[in-house]
Amino acid sequence: MADEDGPDACGLSRRELLKRASMLGVALNAIPLLQIEGLRRAPLETLTPAEGDTLHAIAARLIPSDGNGPGAAEAGAARYIDRALGGALSGNREVYRSGLAAVDRHAQASKGAPFARLPAADQDAVLTDMENNLATGFTPSAEVFFNLVRAHTIQGTFCDPYYGGNVNFAGWDLIGYPGVRLAVSAGDQRLDARPSRTHRSAYDHAMFAKRLPSRATVAHEMHPHGD
């Protein structure tokens, strides 16, 4: 598990990872998926159970829960990705199928068990091999797959909850983002003030339409020519 300030086994401190995530913005484009409560995992929609276990374990190590608060597992990042792979991210479905299988093959060969069954230290070692492009059997490479999963895990952890991730506002609370507000009071503008948390999605406001497009519609809009 990563220390608060020190580098983790993947070469990034938790603080640096969260800093990068916050720079991406929290209102990321994605598609809706089933919410989960706490650590209860909702049924898979796209991945197989084995693939889901591996992805969930990877996300849990990329942004681990620790003394600072919950991480990607509690925020439902893996569920976000699973749902998105059936819609807006459907072009990555084969990449995930082959990539997650390659993760388990490398984990089995180097540590003696599939990734999800390894202790945290061994999981971090496998991810380090991937990040440093030392793991083989990936298409096009372990580093590319590592960066893809990390990007999607960040999305699932810090997106607007309307899109399915950031369950119970776990991601926003982790980085101190107070939530969406359409007006800012004089008190909120004080440099020494800490804004109160609203725990509201942008779509809790009437000015935003709440109609959820179907996954097929979203996929077509994102890739109208099938590319």
**C-alpha torsion angle, residues 49, 121, 74, 16 (rounded to 10):** -130
- Asked, as a colleague might, if the bond just before 70 is cis with ω within 30 of 0, I would say no
pLDDT in tens, 81-133: 998 998 889 999 999 999 999 999 999 999 999 999 999 999 999 999 999 99
pLDDT in tens, 155-212: 999 998 877 788 889 998 888 888 887 777 787 777 787 777 888 888 777 777 666 5
Whether the pLDDT of residue 34 is over 50: the answer is no
Q: Which of 147, 155, 157, 150 is nearest to 72 (CA)?
A: 157
